Amino acid sequence: LMQLSIPLNFIGFVYREIRQGLTDIEQMFDLLDVSAEVTDKPDAKPLEVDQGTVRFHDVRFSYDPERPILKGIDFEIPAGNTVAVVGPSGAGKSTISRLLFRFYDAQSGEITIDGQNVKDVTQKSLRAAIGMVPQDTVLFNDTIAYNIRYGRPDATDEEVRKAAEMAQIGAFIESLPEGYDTMVGERGLKLSGGEKQRVAIARTILKAPPILLLDEATSALDTHTEQEIQAALDTVSRGRTTLVIAHRLSTVINADEIIVLKGGEIAERGRHLALLDAGGLYAEMWNRQREATEAEEALRKARETD
Ligand code: ATP
């Protein structure tokens, strides 16, 4: 039996590795929307991040030639600052983040990190420098610990635990009967959107990249979850150059600059209060979202008193 079980175990191990490999690749393609068109230049050098200043200079982009999506985008995220991009659905917000991660190349203009064009550096070094918290995190069919440790495979158990705590998901994990060994993903415990996002934040905390790219979930979160996620995001973005594709108001209030995108162009830009005073598109969006939030809260309170 021993003789038989060893090869079987081994086959199981190989199978698991292969399956995991496939899941990783699938996830890469799904999540990262990797396009085969983007390749390293023959003389591509590794990106060298010094301060981590990100700059978009007159960036123009279209997925297909007949339909321009970004029509000359200019902005800078000074090292350590946070810039939030807001705007109506389809304005091109996520496209900006895809170009920074170089899933696609802009047709004209430049995107630089500390003066280096993202087209001139190796994709590997670019993606190592950017921590991405996507809208929908696909979890591996493995333990929660594995999913968090994916950010830095050599992290110790203690570091994994600490990252989970900083991401406001530690207490939740401890409350599970199997704790960090709980299986998650399709065949394990199903986590909510907010829980998955916090796992992604914990992963990013372990990775500790100089630049952060946050694509907030559009789905409505209850106030408590929103506050927890906000606290987690504040922790991870502190001292890091951060670009956030913002759907929630709590993220934008403290941004160093808010860029209001409309139809592929920057319609307005500035800090929260200045934009409110300006009484334009941002003020309109803000008022609409505030009314919606107040209506939701009123409904929730009414239900509670029933
Ligand atoms: P939302 O708030 O709804 O997520 P967004 O501002 O992030 O919207 P983008 O995802 O950047 O918008 O999309 C901008 C436009 O580009 C949309 O009209 C969309 O249909 C189009 N688009 C996005 N991805 C592709 C693609 N892979 N191929 C062709 N068109 C695309």
Does residue 91 line the site of ligand 1, with CB under 6 A?
yes
- Decide: helix, strand or coil at residue 112: strand
Predicted local distance difference test score (pLDDT) of residue 226 = 76
**At CA 168, angle to CA 163 and CA 171, rounded to 5?**
95
Residue whose CB lies within 8 A of the most ligand 1 atoms, among 34, 37, 56, 69, for a mutation test: 69
Q: Give, using CA atoms, the residue closest to atom 11 of ligand 1.
A: 92
At position 70, the amino acid (one-letter code) is: L
Look at 134 and 212; give whichever has higher pLDDT: 212
Mean local confidence (pLDDT), 230-240: 85
Residue whose CB lies within 8 A of the most ligand 1 atoms, among 33, 60, 63, 261, for a mutation test: 63
Record the tokens describing residue 3, joined without a space: 């003789």
C-alpha 230 to ligand 1 mean position (Å): 25
Lowest-pLDDT range of 20-24, 245-249, 253-257, 300-304? 20-24
pLDDT of 220 strictly over 70: no
**How much is the ipTM here?**
0.97
Q: Give residues with Cβ within 8 angstroms of 228, minimum separation 6.
A: 168, 194, 198
- Decide: helix, strand or coil at residue 295: helix
pLDDT tier for residue 16 given thresholds of 50, 70 and 90: low
Q: How far, in Å, are 105, 210, 215, 225, 248 from residue 102 at the CA level?
A: 6, 17, 15, 31, 25
Q: What rounded mean pLDDT belongs to the chain?
A: 86
At position 183, the amino acid (one-letter code) is: M
Instruction: Tell me the pLDDT tens digit for each residue of 135-177.
Output: 778 889 999 999 999 989 999 999 999 999 988 899 999 999 9
pLDDT of 20 strictly over 70: no
**Closest ligand 1 atom to the C-alpha of 96?**
11
pLDDT of 260 strictly over 80: yes
pLDDT tier for residue 30 given thresholds of 50, 70 and 90: very low
Q: Give, using CA atoms, the residue closest to atom 18 of ligand 1.
A: 90
Strand partners, 130: 211
Q: What is the DSSP string of 163-229?
A: HHHHTT-HHHHHTSTTGGG-BBSTTSBPPPHHHHHHHHHHHHHHH--SEEEEE---S---HHHHHHH
C-alpha 156 to ligand 1 mean position (Å): 39
Predicted local distance difference test score (pLDDT) of residue 263 = 93
Q: What letter would DSSP give residue 139?
A: P
Instruction: Tell me the pLDDT tens digit for each residue of 261-272.
Output: 999 999 999 999
C-alpha 292 to ligand 1 mean position (Å): 24
Predicted local distance difference test score (pLDDT) of residue 133 = 87
Instruction: Tell me the pLDDT tens digit for each residue of 99-116.
Output: 999 999 999 999 999 999
Predicted local distance difference test score (pLDDT) of residue 33 = 47
**Are the beta carbons of 111 and 117 closer than 8 angstroms?**
yes
At position 228, the amino acid (one-letter code) is: E
pLDDT of 25 strictly over 50: no
Closest among 226, 219, 250, 261 to 85, alpha carbons compared:
261
In the 3-class helix/strand/coil scheme, how is 239-286 assigned residue by residue?
A: CCEEEEECCCHHHHHCCCEEEEEECCEEEEEECHHHHHHHCCHHHHHH
Instruction: Tell me the pLDDT tens digit for each residue of 64-81.
Output: 989 999 999 999 999 999
C-alpha 62 to ligand 1 mean position (Å): 10
Cβ density class 214-239: b for 16+ within 10 Å, e for less = bbbbeeebeeebbebbbebbeebbee
Instruction: Tell me the pLDDT tens digit for each residue of 178-213.
Output: 999 999 988 888 898 888 888 999 999 999 999 999
Predicted local distance difference test score (pLDDT) of residue 241 = 96
**Are the beta carbons of 55 and 100 closer than 8 angstroms?**
no
Kindly state the helix (H) or strand (E) to which residue 22 belongs, with its residue range: helix 2-32
Predicted local distance difference test score (pLDDT) of residue 26 = 45
Predicted local distance difference test score (pLDDT) of residue 13 = 56
C-alpha 176 to ligand 1 mean position (Å): 38
Does residue 95 line the site of ligand 1, with CB under 6 A?
yes
pTM: 0.82
Predicted local distance difference test score (pLDDT) of residue 21 = 52
Mean local confidence (pLDDT), 289-305: 81
% pLDDT > 70, the chain: 86
